[in-house]
Amino acid sequence: MRNFFYFLKKTLTSKSGGRKGDRILIMIIWIILAFGLVMLSSATTAVAYSRFQNSFYYFNHQLFGLGLGLIAFLFFSNIDYHLWKKYAFIFLFSSIILLLLVFIPGLSATYGKARSWINIFGFSLQPSEFVKISFLLYLAAWLETRGKKLHDFAHGFGPFLAILGVIVFLLLLQPDVGTLFIIAAISLTVYFVGGGKTSHIIMIVLVGMLGMLLMVNLRSYQMDRFRCLVDPQFDIQNTCYQTHQSLIAIGSGGFWGRGLGNSRQKFMYLPEVGGDSIFAVIAEEMGLVFGIILIGLYFVFFYRGYIIARNAPDVFGRIMAIGIVTWIITQATLNIGGMINILPMTGVPLPFISYGGSAIMSALAASGILVNISKY
């Protein structure tokens, strides 16, 4: 805990160009992180003890990932963000390599129907989490160099479509629809901010919707997710089980919640209590009030990021800032929307809170870049 406050002090007081980073943004990140650790510890006690005879198994592993994430946060927040433009092509190349790693026999790991993880020396990593930041760094640098050429098909829209198509194709092969949607949202947003035509974006969205419709019809389990969205009682024993249990958890929490540690759904009823279902446990234990406060914190994060983007000294910084906040707010929306059943379940983690070293490291690294931009 002493190290936690050391990093907090370090990031609040570090300067670049005579200026400090956005204090409100930093405090929001640390509040969410601290709250997330408390809720993760509470949410995973039962499942951790059942599987590993250690109630703090997931909490302890999360501390390791958080420690690496804090190092990444401190590193990126103190390195001039302009430096990353020099390595734009390397970031694109690494994005493709990372997505290809999950197809290497002996290295890839499959969980459920998705092949999105790799095992290295006993540790599981999700490469697509790091692609969010590496691909965004490439796009920001590339879009800055295009300028008005973005309106030209041969030098702007065409290459953008080809590059995005490669990333989307590799994500579809896994398949990782949640990450695909997040990266698509980031890419289209920064393309627009970089000067792309609205008509181009509408065209991509329409083609994407047609592709999604085709995929849903080809994969029955994807169609079932939409059925659960319309009718959570469609198949509560199998397909809609997670949706059904999350709604029970959120509903039973009421206005003030059952109290910290008093969730009933975490006792082997609600699947992935430390992962994509953690918001349901938060709502059950802490109630509607804390659920709304948490959502409010994410919107403050978005607002501060928008201010940073608006005041960024160059196009690269503006694109990076808006891309990062789009990433975090889109991912939070997909996660919470799936839990309260206003969006289909996608299995994406709740930023800064859900269990998973890859997710928290990539989110903190990106936040470090955002803080560095704010210093200029």
> Does any domain span residue 21?
no
Q: How confident is the model at residue 16 (pLDDT cuts 50, 70, 90)?
A: low
Structure token pair of residue 1 = 């805990």
> Does any domain span residue 196?
yes
Q: Which burial class, exposed, middle or buried, applies to 283 when counting CB atoms under 10 A from its CB (0-12, 13-18, 19+)?
A: buried
- Considering only residues 242 and 7, tell me which one the structure prediction assigns the higher pLDDT: 242
For residue 5, what pLDDT is reported? 52
Give the Å distances, CA to CA, from 138 to 1, 52, 96, 141: 36, 41, 12, 5
CB 68 within 8 A of CB 359: no
For residue 220, what pLDDT is reported? 61
Cis before residue 159, ω within 30 degrees of 0?
A: no
Q: Coil, strand, or helix at residue 1?
A: coil
Range of the domain at 126: 39-374
> Does any domain span residue 351?
yes
Question: Closest by alpha carbon to 294, among 25, 68, 8, 35?
Answer: 35
How many structural domains are present in the chain? 1
CB 300 within 8 A of CB 325: no
Other CB atoms within a 10 A radius of the CB of residue 213 amount to: 11
How confident is the model over 18-40, as a mean pLDDT? 91
For residue 114, what pLDDT is reported? 65
Q: Which burial class, exposed, middle or buried, applies to 9 when counting CB atoms under 10 A from its CB (0-12, 13-18, 19+)?
A: exposed
How confident is the model over 17-46, as a mean pLDDT? 90
Q: Are strands 19-20 and 123-125 parallel, antiparallel or unpaired?
A: unpaired
Q: How confident is the model at residue 122 (pLDDT cuts 50, 70, 90)?
A: low
Q: How confident is the model at residue 20 (pLDDT cuts 50, 70, 90)?
A: confident
Place of tokens 């990266």: 183
**37 contact partners, CB below 8 Å, separation of at least 6:** 59, 62, 63, 66
> Does any domain span residue 265?
yes
pLDDT tens digits for range 89-105: 999 999 999 888 888 87
Mean pLDDT of the chain: 87
Q: What is the 3-state secondary structure (H, E, C) of 97-133?
A: HHHHHCCCCCCEEEECCEEEEEEECCEEECHHHHHHH
> Does any domain span residue 7?
no
> Does any domain span residue 314?
yes
pTM confidence score: 0.90
> Does any domain span residue 32?
no
CB 177 within 8 A of CB 346: yes
Whether 337 shows a pLDDT value over 90: the answer reads yes
> Does any domain span residue 211?
yes
How confident is the model over 255-279, as a mean pLDDT? 90
